[in-house]
């Protein structure tokens, strides 16, 4: 059992909270608007700015919100595992990412949180596939990248017993490819080449 | 029916030739070593350097071989559709691509072949999934990127009737993401996180 804080209560945060609960963990959901926290009453809720209780902190927020998280929670995140789920798209063009081509949102976040252990995960999963545990008839795979094997193992163990499986995608350098995959999947869904309830499955 | 030349007779070239035949096309396989051409006798075989007969030319070769293709076939490729299937990995480290982060092998090739129409395709498919037409129980998806809608439509039509489906992944700028996906898939297979007979499926 792990203690997990999830910052954000949108579709992704709600789905990840469900997985964390299914894994038998202590779950805190941190949200600006408590009314939007639609998850199981077993979670503890908190407001943005309140103390984090999780050893693992999932930032279930859009990319532009990360700077506010760093400003508000930077000190508290030191010593914790921070999970970045963002796809840093340029939504005005849907034709590129806003992070440098040789970097990633996760690498940028790690640079801003030198005391934290940053993992990239969940960004290649549409929320519906986390909620259902399936992509079509295939079990949903959560790809996780990071430089700390213990942190990756802890996240993997925390989701053991949930509907998804976790696969180690390598070092944090692979976040660049995970973000490319997330970007591609978003463009395919937006172009109706795949569905928001499916996307890529790993077999 | 299209005329398709496939340069290369390895696992990928052989599988793509099989798909092209199944689609009812006129297929030429160009190979340095004729003894390695293990495809259906219905294909026409030729040696590297011989005249290309296909309106669509699939370069089923590893990335380092592209320069030799440009040197040998550059003039002949003008006016044709050229399909780049490469994953330009740094195989010494398995930790990056050898093309610039903001570019792709396909974009580089297009710059070297200004008279040709370059498409990116097949690089996200392991050969076994092209040969079988399935990734697990899911139909294999060939993702194709390129700036010429007619060329993409012609490739898609040529593979109609084969075991795979073709999905338009957008402009040639998306080749960068397709190469990231191909790279990621190769690292996952090398690390035994997926199999060389499966990989990613699109649902």
Q: Is residue A203 part of a domain?
A: no
pTM for the model stands at: 0.97
CA–CA separation, A21 and A44 (whole Å): 11
In this complex, is the C-beta atom of A194 within 8 Å of any C-beta atom belonging to chain B?
yes
In this complex, is the C-beta atom of B97 within 8 Å of any C-beta atom belonging to chain A?
no
Supply the pLDDT for residue A37.
72
In this complex, is the C-beta atom of B128 within 8 Å of any C-beta atom belonging to chain A?
no
**DSSP state, residue B97:** B
Look up the domain containing A58 and give its range: 3-190
Q: Is residue A197 part of a domain?
A: no
Phi, psi for residue A76 in degrees, rounded to 5: -65, -25
Q: Is residue B42 part of a domain?
A: yes
In this complex, is the C-beta atom of B177 within 8 Å of any C-beta atom belonging to chain A?
yes
Q: Is residue A146 part of a domain?
A: yes
Supply the pLDDT for residue B37.
72
B177 to chain A: nearest residue by CA?
A180
In this complex, is the C-beta atom of A22 within 8 Å of any C-beta atom belonging to chain B?
no
Q: Is residue B19 part of a domain?
A: yes
Which tokens sit at B145? Answer: 């990127």
Interchain contact, B198 vs A195, CB within 8 Å: no
CA–CA separation, B66 and A177 (whole Å): 23
Supply the pLDDT for residue B39.
62
CA–CA separation, A101 and A124 (whole Å): 18
B135 to chain A: nearest residue by CA?
A203
CB of B37 within 8 A of CB of B17? Answer: no
Q: How far is CA A88 from the centre of its chain?
A: 13
In this complex, is the C-beta atom of B34 within 8 Å of any C-beta atom belonging to chain A?
no
CB half-sphere exposure, A24, CA atoms < 13 A? 5
Burial state string for A82-94 with b = 16 or more CB within 10 A and e = fewer than 16: bbbbbbbbeeeee
CA–CA separation, A158 and A23 (whole Å): 6
**Which of A94, A98, A184 best tests the B interface by mutation, with the highest count of B CBs <10 A?**
A184
Measure in Å the smallest separation between the Cα of B48 and chain A Cα atoms.
34
Interchain contact, B194 vs A187, CB within 8 Å: no
Would you call A80 exposed, middle or buried from its count of C-beta atoms within 10 A (0-12, 13-18, 19+)? buried
Chain B residues with CB-CB distance to A174 below 8 A: 184, 187
CA–CA separation, B25 and B157 (whole Å): 10
Supply the pLDDT for residue A39.
62
* Of residues A95, A103, A163, A81, the one with CA closest to residue A128: A163
Chain B residues with CB-CB distance to A167 below 8 A: 188, 193-194
CA–CA separation, B124 and B54 (whole Å): 23
Q: Is residue A105 part of a domain?
A: yes
> pLDDT digit string (tens) for A169-200?
999 999 999 999 999 999 999 999 999 999 99
Q: Is residue B76 part of a domain?
A: yes
**Which of A121, A147, A170 best tests the B interface by mutation, with the highest count of B CBs <10 A?**
A170
B165 to chain A: nearest residue by CA?
A193
Chain A residues with CB-CB distance to B101 below 8 A: 100-102, 176
Residue A142 CB: number of other CB atoms within 10 A? Answer: 24
Strands A200-202 and B200-202: antiparallel
Domain count, chain B: 1
Strands A200-202 and B3-7: unpaired
Q: Is residue A196 part of a domain?
A: no
Which tokens sit at B94? Answer: 């398995």
DSSP helix/strand/coil, A100: coil
In this complex, is the C-beta atom of B168 within 8 Å of any C-beta atom belonging to chain A?
yes
User: Tell me, what CATH number does A39's domain have?
Assistant: 3.40.50.720
Interchain contact, A184 vs B198, CB within 8 Å: no
Q: What is the pLDDT along chain B (203 residues), one digit of tens a residue?
A: 899 999 999 999 999 999 999 999 999 999 998 766 766 788 999 999 999 999 999 999 999 999 999 999 999 999 999 999 999 999 999 999 999 999 999 999 999 999 999 999 999 999 999 999 999 999 999 999 999 999 999 999 999 999 999 999 999 999 999 999 999 999 999 999 999 999 999 99
ipTM of predicted complex: 0.96
> pLDDT digit string (tens) for A35-72?
667 667 889 999 999 999 999 999 999 999 999 999 99
């Amino acid at each position: 059992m792990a203690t997990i804080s999830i910052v954000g209560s949108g579709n992704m945060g709600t789905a990840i909270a469900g997985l964390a609960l299914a894994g038998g963990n202590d779950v805190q959901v941190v949200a600006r608007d408590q009314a939007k926290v639609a998850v199981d009453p077993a979670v503890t809720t908190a407001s943005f700015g309140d103390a984090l209780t999780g050893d693992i902190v999932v930032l279930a927020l859009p990319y532009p919100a990360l700077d506010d998280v760093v400003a508000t929670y930077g000190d508290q995140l030191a010593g914790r595992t921070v999970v970045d789920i963002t796809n840093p798209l340029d939504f005005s063009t849907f034709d590129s990412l806003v992070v440098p081509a040789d970097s990633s949102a996760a690498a940028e976040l790690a640079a801003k949180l030198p005391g934290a252990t940053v993992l990239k995960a969940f960004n290649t999963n549409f929320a519906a596939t986390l909620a259902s545990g399936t992509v079509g008839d295939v079990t949903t795979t959560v790809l996780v990248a990071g430089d700390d094997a213990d942190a990756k193992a802890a996240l993997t163990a925390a989701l053991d017993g949930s509907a998804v499986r976790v696969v180690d995608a390598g070092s944090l350098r692979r976040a660049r490819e995970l973000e490319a995959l997330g970007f591609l999947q978003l463009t395919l869904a937006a172009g109706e080449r795949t569905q928001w309830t499916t996307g890529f499955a790993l077999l």
